[in-house]
Chain A
Amino acid sequence: MKSLSCWIQRHILPICSLLLLPVTVTAAELELPNAIPGIITVSAEGLIELATESESLLLIDARLSADHKQGFIEGSISLPDTMTSCDTLSELTTDERRPLLFYCNGPKCERSIHAVRIARKCGYQNVFWFRGGLEEWKKKNYPFIRR
């Protein structure tokens, strides 16, 4: 009995790991898209530049509102991706040319990607994606608000 479990431990587990390996790799690749077609990816500095240049920039926090309260970039509107739709977006702006910038917690967060895609589908033409999200923002000592 004992020897059997040992055998399994020695032989089956490594094999299983090998089988799992490609799946994990694929997942990791999917998790971190560097760019989304039709969407401009920006850094924290790019965000600040956008904000400086364009008064009309809409900064949208795609996280859940609970997360938003934990800390957000000043001037951003909380619109969780779960609630993002052409309707909710149109409530914010109907101007499809108005620059929209989405962010969430960081690269591992898919909410902004999700939201960006929705915005894109909804026909917004100037969609920006702050890929680094709040994680990058905080790390670079840019100011954020906690409620």
Chain B
Amino acid sequence: MSVKVRSVPRVWRERKIKYRLIGGKCPNCGKSFYPYRDNCPYCGFKGAKEVELPREGKVITYTVIRAPPADFTQYAPYPIALVELKDGTRVIAQLTDVNIEDIRTGMSVEAVFRKYREQGEDGIIEYGMKFRPLLKS
């Protein structure tokens, strides 16, 4: 069986959060998180505020995917990192515009709008934020 998780409405539902890196900030405990939802994942307070997260951060740790899931097979190998944004929020994202051998823990990166995958050659295209080394250091 082929395992292709493709949904058009879901891409539409999630677009604002993914296109603009929208997270949540909890007025109760002060923590920020990605993606946005109204329940704080830390203290459970219902009433987190939508925030446009900072677009710069650093690589906490990274890996290179060499055995990719379906719909990503043509892009492998590609790097995935845990990125900590300037406000402390952490996200998991692909790195781009970088040679694999040049990736370092701690390197400064910035968010860029890129294509993540296509729902097949004739399906819709899913976009989101990846991170690249700073254009200007």
The finding on whether chains A and B are genuine partners in a shared complex, rather than unrelated, reads no
